[in-house]
Structure formats: structure tokens, C-alpha cells
Amino acid sequence: MVVFNPIRILVVDDEESIRRLMEKELNSMRRNVCSADSARHALELIERQQFDVIVLDIRLPDGDGIDLLEKFKQAIPDVEVILITGYGNVENAVEAMKLGAYDYITKPFTLDRVELVVEKAYQRVCLQRQNRLLRHTQTYHPLPQFVGRSSGVEHIQYLIEKVAPTNVPVLITGESGAGKDVIASAIHYRSQRAEQPLIIKNCGTLQKELMRSELFGYCKGAFTGANETNDGLITLAHEGTLFLDEIGELPLEVQAALLRVLETQTYRRIGDKYERQVDVRFLFATNRNLVEEARIGNFHEALYHRLNVFQINIPPLRERKEDIPLLVEYFLGLLGSGACPCRVSKSVMQCLMNYAWPGNVRELRNVIERGIILAENGIISESALPRELTQQSDSATTDVPLIPLTELEKRHIRRVMEWVDGNRSQAAGILGIGRKTLYRKLKEYELA
């Protein structure tokens, strides 16, 4: 389902007839019009409410429209301003466009003209927003599959179906590469927010000092270098989902601010006087033990309890080896050429089943990707596997040293003698032979 948000329009004009006309005629299912009769009133409104397009009279009793235009542009990151100007003021309007106004309308105007300019301005607002979102969102298959058939995975699939349609925050835990990102996107794309942005941020990649501003945004002048007002990820994820990975990396004070967002659905930009409403579904992931982190004071305890309302824990791959054949098949289909997919030989499947997968599913995926490149005649054989996978099974199943028994005996006696530092009585005891026999063998094998 595609949800269209109404265009939020602010009309700033001291002429009551114009305000009334716009409120009456522009307001519709698609447009939400609000008005202000002075510069002061307009500034008050934008501090509390979000707008997409502002229609601004260039002359106001308590201020100059051009000054106001600059203030709007500074305070609201993606807003387009359309000026209304009298005949004699066109030059001012042109000047204003150089300062960032989208267009101007001269009085007297028709409503059709206003509608047209507002719609075009809104398209630009959407484009700018989308560009910004694209820098944060990732492209995923619309319905990411959490593949597996072990009881652990079946339970996870059940939890995803249950929790996805709600707004409850979810904490996803599991070792690196186990599939936390897959679960987060599976939840998002099965929720009613699927058409809205899924923003993913790895808190471990953010500099500590920047985390707060990245999440909450900031107002112009809030700190050195804050040259303009900027939205944070929480604002960008409005009506969508914000997935914060490695949540354990957030500094404690940012954790406290985040807890407030979870509890009240309001947030405050750095340097802002006002709290703003926001509608975001939060997903979190960590491969740290948050209980332990909370115990030693590294993690906000109340936030942990808020996150822990719904937890999905992914067992490591080594504990659900029955998922391996299905995952192998899935990756062969996903990564191979569609027409004639590769397959793995029996002994390769044995190696895959014997291996401990410290890098979990990610490592398995990489192994299959490499295997597909090295496959001969569509078959991935042992020579296409990384060494660590084949070595394991060599020693477990196929390591038969092809040497004579006497050579094996000689090597074994040498190793035992080294181990006991040349103590012959001890060596004879370990080898289970008499001392005399040992002397004889040492001589025979020239080990004495």
C-alpha cells in the first residue's frame, strides 16, 4: 500500500482575505494549509510544526519577507518558499530567488497558478528528501528471507511474522554474520511501514561526539560548525523504521535521550527550544551482552529493559547445522547464474557440515560465492574450498599417511623421546615396551 502524505503548506500574509481564500481553496485531502498573519506568528509556527512549502508575502507589517525567507531556509532543512509580490516589487522577488526562494507569484493571481507552483515546489522538496534518504537507506530485496529449517530458525520466522505488524521495538542479538540485518529488514518489509524508509545506522561506525547530532539533528548555531539547521536520522525515519546496529556503542547520555524518544515519541534537536513529535519504529541489534554491560554500568539499565520487551536471538550457525544444506541451496541460486546453477559435491557438503563457521552465515555465503567462481563443469569440489574447511575434514576422515609402518614407528619414537627429554625409562613406559627393546630400536633407527 502506498501512503501519500499531505503537503504541509504555510501561508504567511497579513491580508486576511488572502489567508482565508488559500485556507479554503487549497485545503484538501492532499494539502494541509495553515496560515500566519505576521512574521512573528510564522516563526512561532515553524518552531513547532513541520512544513513542506511556505507561501510568503514579501511585505509584512512586522518584517521583511526576504529576511524571513532566510530564516525559514535556515530553520527547516527541506522547505521551498514561494513569494507573493505586488506588481511594483518584482525586482525584490528576483533578488529573493537568488537567496533560495523557489518561485514568485505576482498579485493579482489565480488559484490555479498557486496550485501549480505549490505542486512543483513540493516535487522538489520530495526529491531533496529522497536524495538525503538514499544516502542512509540500503537497497534490499523487498521481502528478505530468513532461510533455515532448524527449530531455532522456525521459531525466529514465527516471531518475525508476529512482531512485524506492531510498532514494538525489537532487540536482535547474535554473533557477527548470523543474520541480524536480514531479520531487521524482514521485520520492516513485513510491516505497514514497508513503503516508508528503512534507515540503518551502525553506531559502531560513528564518532562518539557526532552520535547525538547524527541521531537527533541540530539547529543552526547549536555548536561551532553548525552553520545550518540539519535533520537527524530520527527525523528522516519519520513514519518508517530506524535500525540502530551495535547499539552498545552509543554513549550513555545519548542512550538516555534515546530512551526518551522511545517513551514519549518526542525528540529535541541539539540547540532546539522545542520537543518535536515523531513516529518511528525502532529496531536494535548488538553482539554484546547487554545484561553484563548494564551490570558494569556501560549500558543504560532502563533502556535495556525498554529494548528487551521483544528480543530475537539468533543461534550461531554451528548450533543449527541442519540449516546448512538449505542455505547452500539458497546461496547457489542467489549467487550463481540463473540458467544452470552449480551444485556441491558430496564431500564438499561433508566439509561444510563439519566446519565450525566462526563467521556464521556470512562466511558460508562467501565460501559459496568463491566456490561458484572455481567450480568446474558446474560442480564445486573440495579444491574450490578454502583450506581451513578441507583441513578439518582431512584430519577427521581422510588423513591416512601413506608411509611404511617402520617409518611411522621411527617418527613416533623420536617424538616421544623429545617429549620426555631423552629419559629412556620414561619413554619405554609411554611406548609400552621394555627398556632393552627401546635401546635396540633407537640403535636400529639411528636415534641414539
Ligand X SMILES: Nc1ncnc2c1ncn2[C@@H]1O[C@H](COP(=O)(O)OP(=O)(O)OP(=O)(O)O)[C@@H](O)[C@H]1O
Q: x/- site string to ligand X, residues 308 to 347, per CB under 6 A?
A: ----------------------x-----------------
CB of 359 to Mg ion, least distance (A): 12
Angle at 240 between CA 178 and CA 124, to 5 degrees: 125
Among 21, 43, 75, 147, indicate the residue that binds ligand X (CB under 6 A): 147
Stretch that binds ligand X, among 171-179, 262-270, 346-354, 392-400 (CB under 6 A): 171-179
Among 177, 217, 240, 371, indicate the residue that binds ligand X (CB under 6 A): 177
Of 358 and 434, nearer to ligand X (C-beta) is 358
CB of 286 to ligand X, least distance (A): 9
How far apart CA 25 and CA 115 sit, in angstroms, is: 10
CB of 361 to Mg ion, least distance (A): 11
CB of 170 to ligand X, least distance (A): 14
Among 53, 55, 101, 182, indicate the residue that binds ligand X (CB under 6 A): 182
Rule CB under 6 A: say whether 240 interacts with ligand X. no
Among 72, 146, 189, 357, indicate the residue that binds ligand X (CB under 6 A): 146
CB of 315 to ligand X, least distance (A): 11
**Residue with the closest Cβ to ligand X?**
179
Among 13, 181, 214, 231, indicate the residue that binds ligand X (CB under 6 A): 181
Identify what 179 binds: Mg ion, ligand X, none; CB under 5 to 8 Å per kind. ligand X
Of 143 and 448, nearer to ligand X (C-beta) is 143
Of 177 and 248, nearer to ligand X (C-beta) is 177
Q: x/- site string to ligand X, residues 47 to 66, per CB under 6 A?
A: --------------------
- In the range 340-369, which residues lie near ligand X by CB under 6 A? 361-362, 365
Question: Which region holds residue 135: left if phi is over 0, alpha if psi is between -120 and 50, else beta?
Answer: alpha
- Our measurement of the distance from residue 5's CA atom to the centroid of its chain's CA atoms, rounded to an integer in Å, reads 24
Q: Applying CB under 5 A, which residues contact Mg ion?
A: 180-181
How far apart CA 150 and CA 139 sit, in angstroms, is: 28
Of 57 and 181, nearer to ligand X (C-beta) is 181
- Residue whose C-alpha cell reads 565450525 in the numeric block: 356
- Catalog residues that contact ligand X under the rule CB under 6 A: 145-148, 174, 176-182, 245, 287, 330, 361-362, 365
